[in-house]
Structure 1
Amino acid sequence: MSLLETMKSYRRAASWAVWPTDHAGRLTEEARFPVERAERDLIDTAMIVSLNPGTDRAVETEENTPDWGNFHSSARKHNDLFLARAFHGTSLWGAYMTDLHPEHAESDSRKVRALPEQIRSSVDSLIEQARLLANVDTIVCLGAKTFTGVNRHRDVIEKELQIPASSIRRVPHYSGAAARVHKNNADVYADVVATTLGLNRARV
């Protein structure tokens, strides 16, 4: 069974770290998820986790939302192409992507205040998704708030997934709110992510 088929029940809230490339393997700077050719690039060894979807994504419906559309918005304010630049040519290209709180649509992360039991429930959902993927050995958290929520339950993650707590990694968020880190420049963000995670970036 393909990974898209395995994870299809999450297709409205999740996606994969794959964006369109040209015949030479270069990013085309399109934000959409290339569902027609993505399968060959998908991997089951890593999860990339953000905090929650933005507000405009809350009004999307099943009719107008493409499968695996999260993290692939053409709206420049989302900076989704920063993610494309960060993971292109690295071992995380093709990784599964999801939100810790997919039900809480809010552009301002400061307003996302989940109760402890809600965070635990969200982490349990991450664990279930990781079990479906079957081979997850790395969880990359986008932003401090995501990392704090996930890492708070590192013991249960370590027990249930049989991976060390050190496999839960943190990188800066890609949104405009983190502009002091990435200077509103996708290449700067990609370099920060590569340095933080020790990734080798193939130059295409």
Structure 2
Amino acid sequence: MDLLQSLDAYRHEASWAVWKTDDAGDVVGDPEFPLEAATEAAHGRAMIVALNPGGIPSAEHPVTPDWSNFHSPNSRHNDIFLAHAFVGTPFWGAYMTDLHPQLVEPNSTLVRPEQEEALRSVQSLIAQARLLQSVGTIICLGGKSLRSISAYADLIERETGIRSIVGVPHYSRSNANVHKHDAERYRRLVHEALGLVTEEVESGPESSGKTRSTK
């Protein structure tokens, strides 16, 4: 059984850090989910976790395809920034989800779950980590995701053995004061936060020597 089958129960709220690329390994086209490529690239070594969904299906796309979180063709979601950030890194193929998938709200300051609900969300995250089996790092998209997950770091480590919880800047347009609407700048910021050093701009899913870990 492949990982997509193992996590199938979460297909409506989660995804994998794989986007469409050309033969050279460069990100191309709209950030729609490439099922075949993801099935081959998916791994359980890391989880990339945002706080909550920021939008709902539009009138043009009323049905949300499986595994389409973080892969919206609507440019206002800025999902393509994630593709550029993770292509050519060890985190290409990692599992992606929201901590609070049930709380749809574009303004993260309004996402204020009660303690019991927050605990249930963390317990669900733990359940997903167990299905992945080999998670070594949780990458949090944005400061609020990092704070929310770090608050349960002891529980997460006790239940899963995961000790590494790190944060990277959020990719949304509302964080433009940080990434300046520049995908390459966002890539550099993410790599700095993760301890990755990009020696060349050009890289792909199977990049060799262009991206290395300083850890």
Counterpart AA for 2:168 = V
> 1:50 is matched with which residue?
50
The separation in 2 between residues aligned to 1:101 and 1:179, in whole angstroms, is 23
Structure 2, gaps ≥5 residues long? 204-215
Q: How far, CA to CA, are the matches of 1:158 and 1:128 in structure 2?
A: 13
Structure 1 residue 26, shift from structure 2 partner: 1.2
CA distance in 1, matches of 2:41, 2:55: 29
Give the whole-Å Cα distance in 1 for the aligned partners of 2:189 and 2:150: 21
TM-score (norm 1): 0.93
Alignment of 1:1-204 (within 5 A): 1-57=1-57, 64-164=63-163, 167-201=164-198, 203-204=202-203
TM-score (norm 2): 0.89
Change (3 A) 1:193 1:81: same
Distance 2:180 2:25 in 1: 26
Paired residue type of 1:95: A
Matched-pair contact (CA < 8 Å) for 1:87–1:190 = yes
Distance 2:38 2:67 in 1: 11
Secondary structure of the structure 2 residue equivalent to 1:98: strand
For residue 58 of structure 1, report the CA deviation from its aligned partner: 8.6
Question: Helix, strand or coil: the match of 1:180?
Answer: helix
Structure 1 gap ranges (5+): none
Q: Give 1:14 shift.
A: 0.1
Q: How many residues align?
A: 201
* Aligned sequence identity (%): 50
Note closer, same or farther for the CA distance 1:27–1:76 as it changes in structure 2 (3 Å cut).
Answer: same
Q: Kindly report the root-mean-square deviation, in angstroms, between the aligned alpha carbons of the 2 structures.
A: 1.7
CA distance in 2, matches of 1:24, 1:71: 23
Preserved CA contact (<8 Å) 2:18 2:37: no
Deviation at 1:29, TM superposition (A): 3.3
